[in-house]
Chains A and B, each alone.
Chain A
Amino acid sequence: MATFLSAHGYDPGPSQRPFSAGAISGVLATAPAVGVLFAFGSLHVETAILGLPLVATLGLGWLAMAIAGAIYARVFGRAANSVHGGWLFGMAFGFALWAAGAVLVLPIASGGVAPAGKAALGVALSMLVWGFAIGILLPFVHRPLHQGLERGSRHPEVGPNAAAGNNPPLRGQRPKQNG
């Protein structure tokens, strides 16, 4: 999969910083998502299910979303830099997280207890809002983190050794000597 993506042009290359851009965007996008959770009363429900204090739940959530953001940016690669399409890719990722996380992981982690009613709706909407926000934010967060052309072009992997596919030097592989 990774080879396919990289061969088809999604590989960010040496001058881009998808992990840091994704993590920062993930953290930023969590703010409106927390707002939604709060508005629907979902935050307190999740706190109760996890059995953690509010601050710890929030901290854990922010950390999880930073990691999720980094994964999003790396998986979608260059596509995540799209100002036009980013929101959709982000929402798709948010939906997938909701389906996998909120629907499966949370009930398993809590022994089968799941949010219901408005709280469940809040969880679903918060993940879509998070996805939408990270999709919108990432291209703008990523840009200042890019190395410019000047610095990026000095990476050894784009220099003349690329002609040899960046193979290591032939040191130590001497021709066989007679006798």
Chain B
Amino acid sequence: MVRVLAFRKAVLAGVAGAIAMEAALLILSRAGVPTVDIVGELASVGFDHHSLALASATVAHLAIGVVWAIFYGYFCWARLKWPPPLQGLAFAAIPALLAILVVFPQLELMRHHAATVTIDVAALMAPLSTLTIAGLVIGHAVFGLVVGTIYQKPVGYPADHKPARPARRRLDGHEKQRRPETSSSFMFATGIECSYPTIERGHWRRDEMDSTGHYEHWQRDFELARQVGITHIRYGPPLHLIFNGRGDYDWDYSDAQMAELREFGPEPIVDLCHFGVPSWLGDFQNPEIASALADYAGAFAERYPWVRFYTPVNEMYVCARMSALQGLWNEQLRNEGAFVNAAFNLAHASVRMSDAILKRRADAIFINSESSEFYQPCCPDEEVRHKAEFENERRFLPLDLIYAHEVSEGMRRYLHDHGVTDQQLDEFRNRKVPDRSILGVDYYEWNERLIDRAGEALALGELFGWYVIADQYWQRYHRVMMHTETNKIDAEGAPKWLWRQWHNVQLLAKAGVPLVGFTWYSLTDQIDWSIAMSEPDGIVFPVGLFDLNREARTVGLAYKHLIDMYRDQPGYRECEPLKQMMQ
């Protein structure tokens, strides 16, 4: 898959482009400019009956327009960062060139009555007058402008719109192995990528489950996970589609999937809030999100009382940063005060959601996934060092809040500067953290950053590695840990990355850190993560265990190899820290 294609939009764009092209050429012709009539040219080839010829040629012309528009959608859309009509115009150079050099001369050949002709290049190109070429160029330019204008945003949907409900569940479970009720084996996990932030000031909804085809293929996705040997799957039912308002839930978006997971597995780690909220809740600046999401979490736990593992809010730090500091998602703000506000609202939501779940299921286990980050100063410059130190404190903020950890003095001053009171901090500090809380540490090759002389953060790649960075989190919180996300953008290098991450996990466990799981994220390729989902381009991010055709990637084979090799080993078949937590 090259790009995600919006098929209907492409068909519409192709038909409209072809009509506009023909209309423009007819107008020029009526205005007395000698030019090419494309439909007329097509009609004159291969048809004897005039009216049939014209109808067939019109259909052929529209079909060719559609094919070119689909080609544009797959290969060329969003390749240039230009306004869409200009992208279409640039693309039109390809069909125009082919029309001039290949198709038009060939159409002339096809009008011959003889079965063969002897030709040379000069004879072949002879019918191409300057005016003919100009007509073909103008016609294709109009086509490109129209296609470019119509074919936009192949992924996502208006925020007030709901996509079609997921495919119905096929009840063919007699051949499947049933999920064990309780298991304390090491968690070999993956996840279904489910981010749903809004962009364009809240008007456009990104929905990764929709873009990756999960709503259509969800049952097959779970089956593929089982075939790899996955024991746990991080699964985020679409909060923005289920939670219609206080007390109003549309469980059609989750019932069938949850029933399948309950019966056949993998064991779900339910991810309740993943980078977005329903439109009626606004964004992460809204102080009401904590109580609203607590209602949702409680309702969810009541509807699916068998679910034991929860991630109440995914990657709070990343969510607050992208939404309120980097201006990419949801509220799309770029200021420190907004970041602090979002981080507190998210942490507050996480706490309230956990409490609501515990009321329904006292032995629930929380996996608080957070992106592990590290900032290295490039040089001894005072300002650069200060910035790196500050960022190295800031990365802990949401976890400090939910794990009732004291924030540093510098961070306290920063929070005071942005309106946080000691009383607010004390509320978190005095919280009784649930015993069954697992610290999930995500790691990607861009998580280690260099602060350069200009104070900008540059991706360092794997400098110190997961072992070193995760150990910093362990030293701070001393909680049972799990490697909760990793992948590699370079599909060819992904097996190498997988095994190296795995060795990091083993080394940290050997050092005495209680580790209960490992995750390759995600099951399938993702969409637009190369641009942090900031624009609805539909670019495939080839990081999945399976591609979007649901064909195994090399890393999918490698993960199965790894799981098969380790799952029955002592310490993995029964993972002691998890066993204690399950009791």
Which residues of A pack against B, CB within 8 Å? Answer: 6-9, 11, 13-16, 41, 45, 48-49, 78-79, 81-85, 88-89, 91-92, 99, 103, 107, 112-121, 124, 139, 146, 149-150, 152-155, 157-160, 162-166
Contacts and interface: CB of A to CB of B under 8 A. Distances in A.
A129 to B, nearest CB: 13
A117 B492 contact: no
Given A82-B1, A83-B549, A41 B116 contact: no
Contact of B542 (A8, A84, A120, A139): A8
A7 B46 contact: no
Given A11-B554, A149-B552, A163-B499, A116 B492 contact: no
B476 interface: no
A163 B503 contact: yes
Report whether over half of chain A's contact residues are helix, strand or loop; otherwise say mixed. Answer: helix
Contacts of B561: 153-154, 158-160
Nearest to B561: A153
A85 B110 contact: no
A99 B110 contact: no
5 contacts: A82-B549, A107-B119, A118-B46, A158-B558, A163-B496
A155 to B, nearest CB: 7
Interface string B489-523: 01111011011101100000000000000000000
Interface centre among A15, A113, A149 (most CB of B within 10 A): A149
Contact of A149 (B490, B540, B560): B560
Interface centre among B491, B498, B500 (most CB of A within 10 A): B491
A160 B565 contact: yes
B513 to A, nearest CB: 20
Instruction: Report the interface size class on chain B.
Output: 35 or more
Given A41-B115, A152-B560, 15 more contacts: A6-B491, A7-B490, A8-B491, A9-B547, A11-B554, A78-B549, A81-B549, A83-B549, A112-B120, A118-B46, A119-B115, A154-B561, A160-B562, A162-B558, A165-B496
Contacts of B67: 88, 91
B7 interface: yes
Contacts of A163: 496, 499-500, 502-503
Query: 4 shortest A-B CB distances, which residue pairs?
Result: A9-B542, A163-B499, A116-B112, A153-B560
A148 B121 CA distance: 51
A146 B553 CA distance: 12
A99 B227 CA distance: 44
A115 B555 CA distance: 49
B491 A121 contact: no
A149 B117 contact: no
B114 interface: yes
B116 A48 contact: yes
B551 A78 contact: yes
